Amino acid sequence: MARELRDRVGDQRAGQSALRHVRSVADMHRGAQRALPRSVLDFIEGGAEDEVTIARNRSDFEQLTLLPRVLRDVSVVNLATTVLGQPVSLPVLAAPTGLTTMVHPLGEVGVAEAVSRAGTVYLASGAGGQSPEAVAAATTGPAPWFQLYLWRDRGLVRELLARTRESGFAALAFTVDVPRGGRRERDLRNGFTIPPRITAGTIAQGLARPRWSARFLRSGGLGLGDIDRQGTPQSWSERVNTQTDPSLTWAELEWLRGEWSRPLLVKGVLHPDDAARAVDCGVNAVIVSNHGGRQLDGASSTITALPGIVEAVGDRTEILLDGGVRRGTDIVKALALGARACLVGRPMLYGLATAGVDGAERVIELLREELVTAMSLLGCTSVGELTPDLIGPVAAAPRT
């Protein structure tokens, strides 16, 4: 306990210094680049193959233009909304990120604390480094949600369902876009494994980032998860492929709906027909997601897929968008096109790496500040006023 307190005090002092010049998520990203070893940064940054989908998640947001309305009283802007009936202070949720403790020993617990301070919801990863019980205990705001992978071991799945239910998780998000692990070539080039191999390269990276190394060594390598700490080192995709079940069908979603009586979401949908099928199976919300570009390279960006899914099921369920959100204007565009809220993943990791819990909280506060500004300039005083008529034609591509 005393060591943890010292670490937190040290983090707070270092974080205050690191956050002094942070004005955007991009600034926080630069902080994470300074804080993390290359292999860890590549693990959270990287995507599948040529990383085309990662680029699209950003560029397709940038291509959308805004059509502001003027001479409206915007002296008070209210960001509050609800997601699955839960009040939140703004339409931004924290997305699930695997092995968050590779970034900081607090991992998912640190994100849960930050999200609670901000008054919104954390969707905790089913491949996280901290237990569901620890995440729930660290949550003092809206009840957390849990992301579920339907592992081959159904006994483990039933155990997780029981633990999340008993811990008070308010909703379950079934991730459906990982029948096998995508080829993340950055990780392959770095020789990144779970658990990590100690090589001359990893030692050199650790020496270059002594603060991260000291934290990781003091944690004893905890945060690789109860499952992932066991066995011989494997690449991330190999470890995923030993756990995931490529034979899953819609029958498993129907089974899960029967096992879980609380709100159920499906995460990883890009095709309108799949969204409709999921709603027919009784889900309460659809998360439009391409897994952050980490699975199928060349897949649609989430903002491009969003309108088709809204048209297919928007009158029957809530729709959340996950992927590429870095600015308040991104959130405005997604909500105007029919999303209920947006999830942010990598930015939360940038904040955690840069300044611990304070850094992760600051990411949400930056997006809050940008969202108030964007809505004011659009002439909107509540998220319900963000409508498709505020989205203009796609911007012309620059000449090369």
Q: What is the pLDDT of residues 331-380, one digit of tens each?
A: 999 999 999 999 999 999 999 999 999 999 999 999 999 999 999 999 99
| pLDDT for 4 beyond 80 | no
Q: Which residues contact 46 (CB under 8 A, 6 or more apart)?
A: 184, 185, 186, 187, 294
Q: What is the C-alpha to C-alpha distance for residues 289 and 74, in angstroms, rounded to an integer?
A: 32
pLDDT of 383 over the 80 cut: yes
Which band of pLDDT confidence, cut at 50, 70 and 90, is reported for residue 218? Answer: confident
pTM of this prediction exceeds 0.85: yes
- As a whole number, mean pLDDT of residues 67-83 equals 98
**Residue 219 predicted with pLDDT over 80:** no
Mean pLDDT across 264-271: 98
Please report the pLDDT score of residue 11 as a whole number: 64
- Residues classed as catalytic: 291
Is residue 277 pLDDT above 90, yes or no? yes
Handedness of CA 296, 301, 304, 305 (dihedral sign): positive
Query: Which DSSP string corresponds to 301-320?
Result: PHHHHHHHHHHHHTTTSEEE
pLDDT in the model for residue 140: 98
Place of tokens 């193959």: 49
